Structure formats: C-alpha cells, structure tokens
Amino acid sequence: MGQEFENFKKLYDEELRQETPTADFIVDAAFRFLTEGNVIDILELLASDEIGANEMFWKEINRSPVSDEDWEKWVYIVGEVSHEEYKRNMREKIELVRNNVDPLEKSCNSVFRAQ
C-alpha cells in the first residue's frame, strides 16, 4: 500500500471518529487519493463503510458518462480548478475504477446505470 492510500485511510478513520461523519467527505477524499496502485485497496475500504459512502461512491461511478460523446456533454460545477481539468481528472479516476472491477460487477453496475 502506498502513501496515497495511507493518506486516504487516515482521513477516512478521522472522519469516522467525528460526531457526525459525512459520506460526502469520504467520497471526495476517495476520488482525490485514488491511483492505479491503490484502487482495489480503496474499494475494499469503502466496502466496509457504514455511513453510506460506498453507495454514494458507486452512484457517482454509475451515473458518470461512458462514451466519449457523453463525456463531452458532461457539465460539472467546480470552484478551484477549471471545468476541463476537473472533467479530465474525474474521467481518469472513474475509468480506473471501472477497469478494475470484475466482469460480474461490471454487468451488475450496468444494470443499475440503466435504471
């Protein structure tokens, strides 16, 4: 496990110790620290989640565009970084997750995406 995962795990653990932990914070941190080397570790940690972050994370993955054409239409409101930079970064992270789930999960996720 690399430093990015350790940083995420530390934030994750700190957030869970809060009086009212928020799933939003955990999901944002998961995307921020997600790398090719730790994608499985982050998915496994999120799978043990009890506050809804795992479900929120997968909703973000499943509602995100799939085709190049759909990514071109994707609009996301961001503050500190340019829309294009954010879109490019999110696409990389989302495709990284999609490429690291097994085929059965992919078919289940596509069913949820269709609903």
pLDDT digits (tens, 9 = 90+) for 38-82: 999 999 999 988 889 999 999 999 888 888 888 888 776 656 667
- Which tokens belong to 82? 């340019």
**Neighbour tally for 44: CB within 10 Å:** 10
pLDDT of residue 84: 79
pLDDT of residue 85: 80
pLDDT digits (tens, 9 = 90+) for 11-29: 999 999 999 989 999 999 9
Residue type, 82: S
65, 71 contact by CB (below 8 A): yes
- Which tokens belong to 28? 């944002």
Residue 114: φ, ψ to 5°: -70, -20
